[in-house]
Amino acid sequence: MLLNSIRNGKIGILLLLGIVALSLTFPRTGSSHEPITTKVMFNKEVIRILQTNCLGCHSEGHVKADIPLTTYEEARPWAKAIKEEVLEKRMMPYQAVKGYGEFQHDYGVPQRDVELLVSWVDGGAPKGDEKDYPKESIQKLIKGDTWQQGQPDLVIQPPKEFRISPEGKNGENEVRCVSIATGLKEDKMAAAIDFKPGNGAIVQSASLYLERPSVRKAVKAAANKCEMAQGAELLSTWIPGSRTGQLPEGYGFMLPAGSKVLMKISYRKSDEEATDLSSIGIYFSKGGQPGRVVQDVAVKSNETVIPANADRHKVKASYLINENTEAIAIRPVLFPFAKSVEAAAFRPDGTVEVLIWARNYKYNWQPQYFFKSR
């Protein structure tokens, strides 16, 4: 697990307790001769649900372009499979159980939208009027022209694009790291940090780390090996469909003058050589320097040996905090074969609060979950 803490009088913590492309593996089903018994239309209601929850992966130029859902003609053959996926809660592929932590983005398909999708499928999956289709916003999403929180105050990129070799015999992904100068002449506070893939068809995940001048040697050595260096602070993570979290007013990441950002990207290989030039967007805190600086804290277990043939084996880790603390966000990360992850706060008065429970855990599909309240 990773945790982020805040120091300045009071301490706040950004708990940062993984990442493979979204995969839909259902058959093409559905008849075009089913009677229409619903008023829910693809071009009016359904496409907007898919736009919010699915098209970040399932559209041209994205990691699951082989199963596009951007038009009625593309989505109609998958109608019954879409219904099954949302009812079984396999899509969206996020595992935070409702009722265990309240977050800015729960990443689940809202119940009302699930009901609309079911009504559409069971009612014959009609297309609707062409004039209701949100063509302009769909095209912007496909092209990846927009930032989630509007134009950033600062945009930085690697000095040159990465060239990703074609898929080899082992089919493994390719990981690249690069250290990028912020160009800051003075210390600045960042209220949010976003990542925009240059080639959404192959960018599978990204992690961004702050490289302070004091740890530059260690970070540079790690970048050469594409590993996280000791002293590098996690700023943000990205996977397809993830949302950029906004820090509370008065909080921020301190970006020192002369600092750099270490960008670590995992690429999904394709049959042909591909290129990518991704970008980092930084939003500076408004109204002067905030008083509370966010930092990440990792909660790690000791080396664990799992007994052979064990059906269930529990691993525990803890982190003691001796000051007033506020939790801002959390990201559950364990080893790839973990089944469930739970993080809880144990207070001095004896009360316990579960911060997050990731059930049916997926190591390679974990966003940061920003709490609604601290």
The pLDDT tens digits for 139-180 are 877 776 678 788 999 999 999 999 988 875 455 678 899 999
Poorest-pLDDT segment among 119-128, 290-299, 317-326: 290-299
pLDDT at 121: 95
SS3 of 110, please? coil
Q: Read off the pLDDT band of 19 (50, 70, 90).
A: very low
Structure tokens at 284: 């500076």
> Pairing mode, if any, of strands 11-15 and 325-327?
parallel
Q: Read off the pLDDT band of 92 (50, 70, 90).
A: confident
Which one-letter DSSP state was computed for residue 19?
Answer: B
Q: CB-based contacts of 300: which residues, under 8 Å, 6+ apart?
A: 1, 317
Instruction: Count the neighbouring beta carbons within 10 Å of the beta carbon of residue 236.
Output: 24
Residue 13 φ/ψ, nearest 5 degrees: -125, 130
**CB-CB contact of 250 with 291 (8 Å):** yes
pLDDT at 62: 79
Domain parsing of the chain, residue ranges: 2-17+147-302+312-370, 42-143
pLDDT at 212: 80
Instruction: Count the neighbouring beta carbons within 10 Å of the beta carbon of residue 341.
Output: 20
pLDDT at 94: 67
Fold classification of 2-17+147-302+312-370 (topology level): Jelly Rolls (2.60.120)
Percent of the chain with pLDDT over 90: 28
> Does the pLDDT at position 190 exceed 80?
yes
pLDDT at 24: 35
pLDDT at 17: 37
pLDDT at 214: 66
The pLDDT tens digits for 293-324 are 887 777 877 767 777 877 788 888 888 888 88
Note the maximum CA span of the chain. Answer: 68
**CB-CB contact of 327 with 374 (8 Å):** yes
pTM of the model: 0.73
pLDDT at 283: 92
User: What are the start-end ranges of the E strands in the chain?
Assistant: 2-7, 11-15, 154-156, 162-164, 174-181, 188-196, 203-211, 233-238, 251-255, 260-267, 274-276, 279-284, 292-298, 325-327, 329-330, 340-346, 352-359, 369-370
Half-sphere exposure for 269 (CA within 13 Å, toward CB): 15
> Does the pLDDT at position 208 exceed 80?
yes
Which is more confidently placed, 101 or 17?
101
**CB-CB contact of 229 with 178 (8 Å):** no
Q: CB-based contacts of 374: which residues, under 8 Å, 6+ apart?
A: 12, 248, 326, 327, 328
> Does the pLDDT at position 110 exceed 70?
yes
